[in-house]
Homo-oligomer: A and B are copies of this chain.
Amino acid sequence: MGIETVAVFSDADRKAPHVAAADYAVRLGPPPARESYLSVAAILEAARKTKATLIHPGYGFLAENAAFARACSDAGLTFVGPPADAIEAMGSKTGSRKMMEAAGVPIVPGLTRPASTAAELKEFGRKAGYPILLKAAAGGGGKGMRRVDSEKEIEAAFARASSEAMAFFNDGAVYAEKLVEGPRHVEVQVIADRHGNRLAVGERECSLQRRHQKVVEECPSPVVGENLRKRICSAALAASAAVNYVSCGTVEFLLSPDGSFYFLEMNTRLQVEHPVTEEVYGVDLASEMIAIALGEPLSWKAEDLRPRGHAIECRIYAEDPSRDFAPSPGTIESLRLPAGPGVRHDIGVEQGSTVPIDYDPMLGKLVVWGPDRPRAIRRLSRALSEYEVAGVETTLPLFRRLCGDSDFQAGRFDVQWLERRLASALLESREPSDEDVLLAAAALSDETAPRGSTPAEPPASPWRRRARLESLRGAER
């Protein structure tokens, strides 16, 4: 877009790709996020130093922080995201539920204000019927959530949910809602400009989750037809209009097997899974978001938004699926990426990169597009068979198993399905075959090869290692 970029970085990321790709880069502080990526003062100082005018908050850290958005405006910077008031309105579970109810957006039957005693929860349980779900009022990401199947569990569950909410969010308020059984997570992409134009760019299917974190996302949802799409998109537009939302945002819904749906929450940022929408609708959401921040009108009209085909995204984490997804930090010793039609990568590492233990262990995203869902799955399967990461364990084996799973192929799953499948034999690791033994024998008997693994660089000599340590100390000045 012809815009010069400024990257900010913590000491752990001096050599990260986002720094090397920027026109300017400013160190924020030491690796802990609190002292770097979460430090509003350090970020504003970086903007001042480099005379930046726009601030893009990315996906995480301060992306949904109203105080940060406000601090940016106060410093005369344009925040690439929604107005601080919209972030704030959607930031409170109970507050946003009330607003949605008023705007005619369906919500799951539940308390409209946090419960301060177990008795209030019991009363709600009696009215709405069990199972019910307890949630931290200030929460997100599944933390502080608790299912309650009968009245006799209420006392203990309330105590635990409240103390968890206090621990995570420094706010012990808990509210309750009816638990929809066998639901899917379906969300709608919304874009809105400062001129009153507001569009829904279709839905995404995000039911494949583990520990309430999305693992695989699709566009469109295999169970949403034309009629349901229209209804859920209007609900999403109403939700975003109710908070005067401007920028890209996502309205999340719980979709019941009977076709009814309920507002869950609104994510007031660009989401990790936005590429599947881009592939199917041919829009560039990241650019659109910047154009909106610059005051431009939307570059699309509703009638130009025509979905085509099917896209699937896999989030590739440095986690070991055969050991309950334990983090697997280390060095990427080799990286082979699939190429060809309908294959897209959003990737933050390269051969030789170190996967730090400080932040989110997501290595990147693999996105495939196909003319329809079966062909998208075939393409995904082919791409995964060419995707090779050595040096750290990854979640790639999980996605390979998924491609061959008949429930996944048929689109038969809800938000708990993946956890149930993981509890079964989905992740048994590949047994070595005769061919593996022969490959091992060929490699171990090959005296022309460098010994052991193939690192990106020859192993450091002790002398070099000393100099490198020295240079690391240098960076800490």
Contact = CB atoms under 8 A, between A and B. Distances in A.
A67 interface: no
Contacts of A323: none
A70 interface: no
Nearest to A340: B346
Contact of A284 (B308, B371, B460): B371
Nearest to A466: B448
A472 B185 CA distance: 57
Contacts of A282: 308-309, 371
A220 interface: no
Contacts of A21: 386
A344 interface: yes
Interface size bucket, A side?
35 or more
Contacts of A224: none
Nearest to A309: B282
Nearest to A468: B448
Interface in A328-370: 336-337, 339-347, 350, 370
Interface in A416-473: 447-448, 450, 454, 457-458, 460, 464, 467-468, 471
Interface of A is mostly: loop
Nearest to A365: B339
Contacts of A1: 378
Contacts of A88: none
A391 interface: no
A460 B449 CA distance: 9
A434 to B, nearest CB: 16
Given A306-B308, A450-B458, A458-B458, A278 B345 contact: no
Given A284-B375, A447-B467, A278 B457 contact: no
A254 B468 CA distance: 61
Contacts of A309: 282
B447 A283 contact: no
Contact of A344 (B283, B340, B447, B468): B340
A346 B464 CA distance: 38
A144 interface: no
A249 interface: no
Contacts of A337: 337, 339
A275 interface: yes
Interface string A304-315: 001011000000
Contacts of A299: 371
A309 B350 CA distance: 30
B457 A454 contact: yes
Nearest to A465: B448
Contacts of A450: 457-458
A30 B242 CA distance: 72
Contacts of A308: 282, 306, 308
A345 B341 contact: no
Sorted nearest first, the 7 A-B pairs with minimum C-beta distance are: A458-B458, A339-B345, A448-B467, A448-B468, A282-B308, A448-B464, A447-B467
Interface of A: 1-2, 21, 275, 278-279, 282-284, 286, 299, 306, 308-309, 336-337, 339-347, 350, 370-371, 375, 378, 386, 447-448, 450, 454, 457-458, 460, 464, 467-468, 471
15 contacts: A2-B378, A275-B341, A278-B341, A284-B375, A299-B371, A306-B308, A339-B345, A339-B346, A340-B346, A341-B344, A341-B346, A343-B344, A344-B344, A448-B471, A454-B457
